[in-house]
Structure 1
Amino acid sequence: MQIWQIRVWGLVQGVGFRPTVWRIATDAGLAGEVLNDADGVLIRLACTQDQLDRFTRDLRQQAPPLSRIDGIEISVGSNQAAIEGFVIVPSKSGTARTGIVPDAATCADCLADINDPKNRRFGYAFTNCTNCGPRLSIIRAIPYDRPNTAMAAFAMCAACQQEYDDPADRRFHAQPNACPDCGPALLLVDGEGEPLPGDPIEAAALALSEGKILAVKGLGGFQLACDATNPKAVALLRARKRRAAKPFALMGKDLEQIGAFAELTEATKAALTSAQAPIVLARARQDGTPLATGIAPGQNRLGFMLPNTPLHHLLLNRVNGPLVMTSGNLSSEPQVTGNAEALARLDGIADAWLLHNRKIVNRLDDSVVQIVGEAPLVLRRARGAAPAPLQLHPGFAKAAPVLACGADLKNTFCLLKDGQAIVSQHMGDMENDRTHRDFSANLALFSKTHDFTAAAIAVDTHPGYFASRIGREFATERKAPLIEVQHHHAHIAAELAEHGYGPETPQVLGIVLDGLGYGNDGTIWGGEFLLADFQRFHRLAHFAPIALPGGEKANIQPWRNTFAHLMAVFGPDPLVKIEQKFGALPVLSDLKSKPLATVEQMIDRGLNAPLASSAGRLFDAVAGVLGLCFDQIEFEGQAAMYLQRLAEERPDEAGLYLIEPSPVIHWHSLWTGVLSDLKGGIEPATIAAKFHNSLIALIADLGSKLSETHSTSTIVLSGGVFQNAVLLNGVEKLLTAQGRDVLVPRQFPINDGGVSLGQATIAAALGV
């Protein structure tokens, strides 16, 4: 018999880990104790070596569903005094090393409670247990105990306290534990904040059925809801929210209801029903029940999620169909979180407000994924996923703490400490002042909860990024080294880190396709083939640089990119030459209405027309020539999304345009082929499919050749353009068929939401 000390690291607080330890130990007749502290969970156990081995085996096998064990360290206890029985002792504070567990969707047991008329939580919108409910959205500090959360304002009644104190109860130390007698309460109010009559849920459901717009206080922020089958309600929401075309997120009651509108594969169902309960992009059913046409204009995918809180379950049970459930804000702003703020900022948008009196401490958007090749691809990592830490390769264990500030679009930051990377929830685009405040507030919280002080600060090399400016200010204030990381290098490093590669990993081939990233030669990159590891990179090949006439305007007006590409291929006054060769094409008359003389002069003189190897702008240019979003896009990626949708109308046998793979990829044959097809009356859908097929073949061919030349079989695919499911699936399949090991991110976004992880690991690998 020996007294052992067992240290467990990972996501082990607020998930029912201590009662699991208690149950395993008491079932085995072992004596000891378990407690939470800033490092995770600490166990003292009196047992033999054989009993210890069985205990640790059972602990790993029977760990709670929301937990994650990153490590177990066992040592002989310093105090060998005899102990009797097994007890759970109060938490201890100290230097924080344990992670904050993400919020989790309502579990089946709690859902049964709120639907059972005999249960004391019947119809209660804040029901939870250790297997579900709020975490990050309500936490203020570590350890994750009730006094450190928004639930500190609610004293438990005797019945809830008994559950909370009983290790055999699934609500043992469930910090948000509450019931109708002692917990948060709902209130439905009008625009003046005056309560509306009736049961809040019943009255809210009635308002939705009448075509009204409802502001709902969700888990991490307010949402705007309306009947998704009511065209007038959807159009009204678009007008009031000033959101012209971007698709709305939808919430369905269950898989059966969602399946009436969208095609559900097994992978889609698994993502929808996971504890994260993200928005999942699924193909709209052609034979399905119709939704309002304004839900996702011009798209063939719908973004559906299941209810993720008891409040959402109760509301969806009382309406006849799915609801629009979009973020509660004006377009481009972060969603609001406070009751007073919601009444003020959503005035003129909502008709009624479904409020409650539990504070949202930390703003959280809904996570978004799509299924590509029967595996999830993360587009936004937030509610349900963040901020679960990533356990890095052991080679990062002794790295000094690094703060990485991320990119300007889809911003996240990353804290690297003790061999872990903690990536924040999605915060949005840094052009908005409210996002800046979110960044600062979240950084303060994460630094506090993880006892984090940066020894170095990593930023993107782009001189104009707001996130980089913030990082430079931090570095100056704290007298910490500043590491500038090239944007596409960070994309590659993020995937290497996610897949468990260490600082000394051999170089891999990274193919990064996105809109814009500042190159190390001072130009704009975006179609890149890089040989890279964590410490260095070398540019092997890239898309030909094409002017962005008007600078930022070229990011939102596809016609500018169409003209710039045509001018790059056909030279000065390209429309005359094109008309002479291909005849009168619709795109020519559309372009003639634009100020082409001025634009051509800008390109010739290099005035506000920077060169960029951008893959994103190539998609815009091709979309423009097909008349898709020709004048202007309403949201990022709109033209490319329309182009993908068009391509999916045609089979793979549409053919392709032959593009020569070379260190600098030019588009002469592509544009000659596209214009020839337009002249020949080929349908736009076929041209879109041929464009995708051509790009897939080009990328796979060049990628395979470069990987062979540079003796690496590992190829990383990253960048926002790879959110295109047709492109990603096609390239991955071809490269895999050619024997390459293809890495695609599965836990972190393939877009700029993962850049901070790459920045942090590069800085750590450099040893600064």
Structure 2
Amino acid sequence: MSVTRTRVRVEGVVQGVGFRPFVRLLATSLSLVGYVRNDSAGVLIEVEGAPVAVREFLATLEREPPPLAAIERVTSGPVPTAGGVGFDIVASEAGAARSTLVAADTATCADCLRELWDPADRRFRYPFVNCTHCGPRFTIVRDVPYDRPMTTMAGFALCADCEGEYHDPGDRRFHAQPVCCPACGPALRLTDPAGGLLAGEPVAAAAELLRQGAVLAVKGLGGFHLAVDAGSEDAAAALRARKHREDKPFAVMVADVDAARALCVVDDVEERLLAGTGRPIVLLRRHPHAPVAPSVAPGNPFLGVLLPYTPLHHLLLAEVGRPLVMTSGNVSDEPIVYRDEAAYARLGPLVEAFLTHDRPIHVRADDSVARVSAGRELLIRRSRGYAPRPVTVPWEFRRPVLACGAELKSTFCLGRGRHAFVSGHLGDLENYETLRSFTEGVSHHRRLFDVRPEVVAHDLHPEYLSTKYALDLGGVDLVGVQHHHAHIASCLADNGEAGPVIGVAFDGLGYGTDGTLWGGEFLVADLAGYRRAGHLEQVPMPGGAAAVREPWRMAAAWLDRAFEGDVPEGLGVARRHGDRWADVVRLGRAGLSAPVTSSAGRLFDAVAALVGVRDTVSYEGQAAIELERLADAGRDGSYEVLLGGGDPFVVSGAAIVRGVTADVLAGTAGAVVAGRFHRTMARVVLAGAVRLRTREGLSVVALSGGVFQNVVLLGEAVALLTDAGFRVLTHSRVPPNDGGISLGQAVVAGARDRA
């Protein structure tokens, strides 16, 4: 009988996902001999047997991989036959060059849940049950290859039963690195804020504390949550006060999809997001009388809902019997706490107890956040369950790249080969803790993915800490990337396209090349470069950063511009601020402490204040978010859209503000005004795109920037553009906000390096 032997290299997310057991089972079923092993490049296989069986093996390998695997490339070639008996999983090899990918943390699978609830199973109610198809991955990995000694499970020696499962090719835990059981794995404990053990079974005792209104710190996969009973107003209000979080909504964890439906409207796409392996927080429209305390999401028609993604979450939800607030374990704007000693120090003053355990977390990972727009997932925050899954791009990075991102919603990105490794969400890079998280994250990712950057990309803003970090690095080529070009490049990379496109970048603020603050931009752009082809009319920001915290200041600036100083009487926003109004107008006119901006986000703020939605904010983007929630998308009508004839053209914000003002003075309902404003801004996008199609001959539009998190605006703009014959690119793999900036910087630097 003819025999052939083939060596196979498999690259992608193929470690920690049950790939080697799958390969062994497949090879054995086809009577092939050989071996499979992990190494620093992925998975290496040699199979020997009948040629037809080898061909079937290769076809099935790519067609039917394990559910958590993501194969990117399979290469194979003949090698001399070696004979042998059976097919083995052999010891991993660490090589000089690491190019393997690491899987994201994965929600508990159905098989493990069945064991969790089975009184006859030895893992009954064990809060760390996992297998090759689920459980911790990225947050416990110290190094590659992905084997137990390289994880934070290294300190837990396998008992005889778990050892048997680990080495049994027919077992679901065959070569599952975090495998453990009550006899040999991590243990749960309930403590007081000083670390002293509390009496009782930890989950049952923790549940009783929650029912009594206590605030608990709960250790998850990538850090600590702060938990309270979501139905208790006293508990939710106490948590809000202790965390110094005035208005920003808390996330709510529910037991299952049915429990989510009891609180919110859930469509099919939202259900798939909720129940998917990534388990993000999903923003859902709440039922008017959902049994959730007012302080959970004050005045908000939406709830951020997530399902349990660890066995401990399942146990706790079942024991309490009702939804729980599960918000990031941090204070104010600091990163999520993930180390035990830091948790007791930082969170101890906020809680009555800690529900924790002794499995170390190596990498912090906050919960991801998503919403659905036009039937498609739209990431708002990309972290646990998604990172470090790379964004694969159709171009090669000629040299390794580090992109340092922006200041708000900080991420960084490493580029190597055809992979862009965007970090998980770090927070706002405005304090020491976030900066330390940033620098530690860069070091870990560099080591894990073996990237030694030769090119470093950064924002043009000289005061961003990410820019200063980049400029302090030695021995690298620095590439400054304009903020809004990075937004559009991020959208291009997200869609695997190189341009050129009409780029519409609407956000809060970004440093422009003319020294002003941009944010309402129309660019003609590809990966390597851009030209500013149009923008929103520029106005002063009276008080600078104060105008971000107090949107009424932007209303004053826009009204002064729109009515040339002769602002109509009777506007509530002016009346509410009395003498301060005139002072702020004078400040804007004088140009002192009043930087000029073309920001679309600041125009949203101004309209929010005009309509009476919000004069001050307690978190970034709050006024615009609440204006979106108010908008009545079912009504007709919009305001005048005027484009100047220059190059770059200028969109008249003053005309829009005059229309809004007329409606407000006429007593038009705020929901109607908000809806008309959103439709107007969508028409602005269309008008600018039509102008540039005529001028530049382009028919593809890329939409990016934090303003396009607004699904009312995004949906309307996409519909108008599509009806007008444009092809529209939007985000799906990374957020449109500044969390995607680092990806854009990386691909811009890569494109310029290839030029």
For this structure pair, what is the TM-score category when the shorter chain's length is used for normalisation?
over 0.9
Equivalent residue, structure 1, for 2:177: 175
Structure 1 residues 712 and 167: CA distance shift in structure 2, 3 A: farther
Q: Residue 147 of structure 1 aligns to which amino acid in structure 2?
A: P
Partners of 1:51 and 1:400 in 2: how far apart? 40
8 Å contact from structure 2 (residues 273, 279) kept in 1? yes
Alignment of 1:313-392 (within 5 A): 313-392=314-393
Alignment of 1:634-653 (within 5 A): 634-647=618-631, 650-653=632-635
The share of aligned pairs that are identical, in percent, is 45
Alignment of 1:229-244 (within 5 A): 229-244=231-246
8 Å contact from structure 2 (residues 411, 740) kept in 1? yes
Deviation at 1:191, TM superposition (A): 1.7
Equivalent residue, structure 2, for 1:539: 532
Which segments of 5 or more consecutive residues in structure 1 lack a partner in the other structure? none
For 1:187, what is the secondary structure of its paired residue? strand
Partners of 2:131 and 2:753 in 1: how far apart? 43
Partners of 1:303 and 1:175 in 2: how far apart? 32
1:224 partnered with 2:229: no
Q: Residue 189 of structure 2 aligns to which amino acid in structure 1?
A: L
Equivalent residue, structure 2, for 1:601: 586
Partners of 1:705 and 1:22 in 2: how far apart? 59
Deviation at 1:608, TM superposition (A): 1.3
Partners of 1:259 and 1:36 in 2: how far apart? 42
Q: Residue 578 of structure 1 aligns to which amino acid in structure 2?
A: V
Partners of 1:349 and 1:593 in 2: how far apart? 40
Equivalent residue, structure 2, for 1:206: 208
Runs of 4+ that moved beyond 4 A:
none
Equivalent residue, structure 2, for 1:659: 641
8 Å contact from structure 2 (residues 32, 54) kept in 1? no
8 Å contact from structure 1 (residues 187, 354) kept in 2? yes
Partners of 1:57 and 1:165 in 2: how far apart? 27
Q: Residue 197 of structure 1 aligns to which amino acid in structure 2?
A: A
Q: Residue 592 of structure 1 aligns to which amino acid in structure 2?
A: G
Equivalent residue, structure 1, for 2:657: 671
Partners of 2:184 and 2:499 in 1: how far apart? 58
Equivalent residue, structure 1, for 2:469: 470
Partners of 1:708 and 1:54 in 2: how far apart? 53
261-270 vs 334-343, greater mean Cα deviation: 334-343
Alignment of 1:124-135 (within 5 A): 124-135=126-137
Partners of 2:351 and 2:476 in 1: how far apart? 46
**Structure-2-length-normalised TM-score:** 0.97
For 1:151, what is the secondary structure of its paired residue? coil
Partners of 1:498 and 1:643 in 2: how far apart? 28
Partners of 2:48 and 2:407 in 1: how far apart? 53
For 2:546, what is the secondary structure of its paired residue? helix
For 1:317, what is the secondary structure of its paired residue? helix
Deviation at 1:539, TM superposition (A): 1.0
Q: Residue 495 of structure 1 aligns to which amino acid in structure 2?
A: C
Q: Residue 749 of structure 1 aligns to which amino acid in structure 2?
A: P
Identify which of 493, 496, 499 aligns with 2:495. Answer: 499
Deviation at 1:548, TM superposition (A): 0.8
For 1:760, what is the secondary structure of its paired residue? helix
Could you give the per-residue CA deviations for residues 654-691 of structure 1, whole angstroms, max 9, x where no partner exists?
A: 41112113410112322222222122111111111111
Deviation at 1:54, TM superposition (A): 1.4
Partners of 2:220 and 2:556 in 1: how far apart? 45
Equivalent residue, structure 1, for 2:306: 305
For 2:142, what is the secondary structure of its paired residue? coil
Deviation at 1:603, TM superposition (A): 2.2
Which segments of 5 or more consecutive residues in structure 2 lack a partner in the other structure? none
Identify which of 252, 255, 266 aligns with 1:253. Answer: 255
Q: Residue 706 of structure 1 aligns to which amino acid in structure 2?
A: L
Partners of 2:283 and 2:179 in 1: how far apart? 33
Partners of 2:282 and 2:125 in 1: how far apart? 27
1:578 partnered with 2:567: yes
Deviation at 1:171, TM superposition (A): 0.8
Alignment of 1:444-459 (within 5 A): 444-459=443-458
8 Å contact from structure 2 (residues 247, 618) kept in 1? yes
Partners of 2:287 and 2:712 in 1: how far apart? 18
Partners of 1:585 and 1:462 in 2: how far apart? 36
Deviation at 1:595, TM superposition (A): 5.3
Q: Residue 372 of structure 1 aligns to which amino acid in structure 2?
A: S
Partners of 2:603 and 2:407 in 1: how far apart? 21
Identify which of 602, 620, 623 aligns with 2:608. Answer: 623
For 2:59, what is the secondary structure of its paired residue? helix
Deviation at 1:48, TM superposition (A): 4.4
8 Å contact from structure 1 (residues 562, 624) kept in 2? yes
Equivalent residue, structure 2, for 1:284: 286
Equivalent residue, structure 2, for 1:418: 417
8 Å contact from structure 2 (residues 563, 658) kept in 1? no
Partners of 2:510 and 2:430 in 1: how far apart? 16
8 Å contact from structure 1 (residues 387, 424) kept in 2? yes
RMSD of the TM alignment (CA)? Answer: 1.3
8 Å contact from structure 2 (residues 429, 465) kept in 1? yes
Partners of 1:84 and 1:737 in 2: how far apart? 63
Could you give the per-residue CA deviations for residues 496-517 of structure 1, whole angstroms, max 9, x where no partner exists?
A: 112122xxx4411111100011
8 Å contact from structure 1 (residues 140, 148) kept in 2? yes
Q: Residue 81 of structure 1 aligns to which amino acid in structure 2?
A: A
Equivalent residue, structure 2, for 1:431: 430
8 Å contact from structure 2 (residues 15, 103) kept in 1? yes
1:508 partnered with 2:507: no
Deviation at 1:607, TM superposition (A): 1.3
Deviation at 1:708, TM superposition (A): 4.2
Could you give the per-residue CA deviations for residues 264-314 of structure 1, whole angstroms, max 9, x where no partner exists?
A: 00000000000000000011112x432101111122110000001000000
Partners of 1:5 and 1:751 in 2: how far apart? 44
**Structure-1-length-normalised TM-score:** 0.96
Partners of 2:449 and 2:650 in 1: how far apart? 45
